[in-house]
Structure 1
Amino acid sequence: MRVVEVTAYGGPEVLRMARRPEPEAGDVPGRVRVRLKAAGVNQADLRIRAGVYADEVGDLKPPFVLGTDFAGKLLDPVPGMAAGTRVAGFVPWWEELTGEGTYAEVVRVAPEWVAPIPDDVDYTVAASIPLASATAQQSLDRLGLAAGSTLVVTGASGVVGRLALQYAAAAGLRVVAVAHEGDEHELKVLGAEHSVTRGTPEDVVRKVLDFIPEGVDAVFDGALHAAPVLPVVKDGGAFVALAANRTPAPERNIRVETVRGKPDAARLKETLEKVAAREVITRVADVMPLEEVAEAHRRAEAGHRPGRMILMI
């Protein structure tokens, strides 16, 4: 089967098409196969490829295959889903550390990682959801904010931030979105009480405090600003970081959490159903063939446009 391998740490040019044996039914106990139609390109993929996390992946060395989010068809049945069912999910790449990611034609997955895709949701949209949705929902769980609390969502134009905004608004939180210029109206429709345009962290802090001078109860740091945006949080508030190396040191009794999403098939099923009903809105930036993965990484790194880059397989 075709895969994309990281041949060495470096820029997008280190990504190469390669051939590996296709997994066979039952070759790994407890795992089933999915033939992929689409895979998401996440920001963590870019950092892993660049070697930013080389010390965190233990003994895993190139060549390996990147990728977490996927959408495709089951090749093997699982309880409640027959072979041929359209499914989406994500591989917990960091926990597995096998180097078997979703930039591939076939992947092995645990049944508890996957959820059925509703008929009205296409593969590219479904592949943008799993990890982002889990990260957003589990971050809000960890924050544990009461209705009426104030929350800043940085990176609200991207998929993770956009989902966090929607879940937070649905929970009754007052959301200040930090987003691309031009997205303000759409984000208001999705639940933001107020939006500020992205800029330097210092600009973001100033704009947020202009709107809420006393500071906010918490920050969901989808843009990975880290410590420079802590000043928007009031004493005793909370801050969620999405990467260990972008986690600020606690200060002023601010509770700092680092969240890495974990698969939750039941919640993913519910989210995909809400996507089908247009109750939850995601964003796909570009759709490109697997063979153009290096260009997909270049566009993602350049901030080509907000949203998830999707590889068609």
Structure 2
Amino acid sequence: MRVVEVTAYGGPEVLRMARRPEPEAGDVPGRVRVRLRAAGVNQADLRIRAGRYPGHVGDLKPPFVLGTDFAGTLMDPAPGMPAGTRVAGFVPWFDELTGEGTYAEVLRAAPEWLAPIPDDVDYTVAASVPLASATAQQGLDRLALPEGSTLLVTGASGVVGRLAVQYAAAAGVRVVAVAHEGDESELKLLGAEHSIERGTPEDVVARVVAAVPERVDAVFDGAFHSAPALAAVKDGGAFIALAADRTPTAERNIRVETVRGRPDAARLKETLEKVAARELITRVADVMPLEEVAEAHRRAEAGHRPGRIILMI
């Protein structure tokens, strides 16, 4: 089968197409095979490839296969889902550390990672959702904000931030969303009370304070602003970071935590059903063939356009 391997740590040029044996049914107990149709390009993929997580990859060394989000078709039956079911999910890559990711034609998956894809959701849309929705939901769970609290969501034009805006607004939280130019009106439709244009972290903080002079109760840092964004938080507030190397040091009694999404099939099933019903809106930025993975990484790193880049397999 075709895979994309990270041949060394570095820029997008280290990604290479390769061939590996296709997994056989039952070769890993408790795992089922999924023939992949789409895989998402996540920020974690870029950071792993660049070698920014040496303390988090254990003894794993190149060559290995990147990729977390996926959508495809079950090749083997799973509990409650016969072979042939369209499924989506994500690989908890840092927990597995097998070097077997989703930039491949076939994946061994744990059944508890998988949720069925509704008929009205295509593979590209489904592949944009799993890790983003888990990260947004579990980050908001950790914040545990009461109704009426104020939350700053940076990176709100991206998939994780966009879902965080929608989940938080649905819970009665007042959201200040930091958006790409042109996205302000849409984010207000999705539930943001205030939508401000992105900029340097210092510019963002100034705009937040202008909109919310008392400062916000918490930050969901989808844009990896890190320490500078703490200035937007009240004393004793909270801050959720999405990457270990972008987690600021706590100050002014602000609670700082890092969230890494964990698979939750029941929640993912509910989320995909809401996507099908247009009750939740995700965003696909580009759809590219697997062979163009290096260009996909370049576009993602350059902020080519907000949203998830999807690799078709």
Q: Which residue of 1 aligns with 2:176?
A: 176
Matches within 5 A, 1:245-264: 245-264=245-264
1:194-221: per-residue Cα shift (whole Å, max 9, x none)? 0111100000000000011111000000
Q: Which residue of 1 aligns with 2:32?
A: 32
Mapped partners of 1:49, 1:79: distance in 2? 34
Mapped partners of 2:110, 2:62: distance in 1? 24
Q: Which residue of 2 aligns with 1:136?
A: 136
Mapped partners of 2:142, 2:51: distance in 1? 29
Q: Which runs of 5+ in 1 are unaligned?
A: none
Matches within 5 A, 1:37-56: 37-56=37-56
Mapped partners of 1:271, 1:145: distance in 2? 21
Report which stretch shifted further, 45-54 or 136-145.
45-54
Q: Which residue of 2 aligns with 1:213?
A: 213
Mapped partners of 1:86, 1:208: distance in 2? 42
Per the alignment, in what secondary structure is the counterpart of residue 54 of structure 1?
coil
Mapped partners of 2:44, 2:263: distance in 1? 16
- The one-letter amino acid of 2:22's match is E
Q: CA deviation at 1:54?
A: 2.3
Q: CA deviation at 1:237?
A: 0.4
Mapped partners of 2:55, 2:144: distance in 1? 32
Mapped partners of 1:109, 1:169: distance in 2? 33
1:305 aligns with 2:302: no
Per the alignment, in what secondary structure is the counterpart of residue 108 of structure 2?
strand
Q: Which runs of 5+ in 2 are unaligned?
A: none
Q: Which residue of 1 aligns with 2:296?
A: 296
Q: CA deviation at 1:111?
A: 0.3
Matches within 5 A, 1:102-117: 102-117=102-117
- The one-letter amino acid of 2:139's match is S
Mapped partners of 1:185, 1:47: distance in 2? 31
1:204-254: per-residue Cα shift (whole Å, max 9, x none)? 000000011111000000000000010110011000000111111111110
Q: Which residue of 1 aligns with 2:127?
A: 127
- The one-letter amino acid of 1:111's match is P
Q: Which residue of 2 aligns with 1:151?
A: 151
Q: CA deviation at 1:56?
A: 2.0
Per the alignment, in what secondary structure is the counterpart of residue 118 of structure 1?
coil
Matches within 5 A, 1:52-67: 52-67=52-67
Mapped partners of 1:59, 1:112: distance in 2? 26
Q: CA deviation at 1:79?
A: 1.1
Per the alignment, in what secondary structure is the counterpart of residue 55 of structure 2?
helix
Q: Which residue of 2 aligns with 1:8?
A: 8
Matches within 5 A, 1:167-206: 167-206=167-206
Q: Which residue of 2 aligns with 1:272?
A: 272
Q: Which residue of 1 aligns with 2:231?
A: 231
Mapped partners of 2:26, 2:151: distance in 1? 46
1:282 aligns with 2:291: no
Mapped partners of 1:234, 1:50: distance in 2? 34
Q: CA deviation at 1:53?
A: 1.0
**Identity across the alignment (%):** 86
TM-score normalized by the length of structure 1: 0.99
Mapped partners of 2:111, 2:312: distance in 1? 23
Mapped partners of 1:55, 1:94: distance in 2? 11
Q: Which residue of 2 aligns with 1:80?
A: 80
Q: CA deviation at 1:58?
A: 1.2
Per the alignment, in what secondary structure is the counterpart of residue 45 of structure 1?
helix
Q: Which residue of 1 aligns with 2:100?
A: 100
Q: CA deviation at 1:55?
A: 3.0
How large is the RMSD of aligned CA atoms in angstroms?
0.5
Query: Structure 1 residue runs of 4+, over 2 Å off?
Result: none
Per the alignment, in what secondary structure is the counterpart of residue 56 of structure 1?
coil
Number of positions where the alignment pairs a residue of Structure 1 with one of Structure 2 = 313
Mapped partners of 2:246, 2:93: distance in 1? 19
- The one-letter amino acid of 1:66's match is L
Per the alignment, in what secondary structure is the counterpart of residue 282 of structure 2?
coil
Per the alignment, in what secondary structure is the counterpart of residue 214 of structure 2?
coil
- The one-letter amino acid of 1:184's match is E
Q: CA deviation at 1:283?
A: 0.2
Mapped partners of 1:268, 1:42: distance in 2? 17
Mapped partners of 1:295, 1:266: distance in 2? 34
Mapped partners of 1:94, 1:282: distance in 2? 24
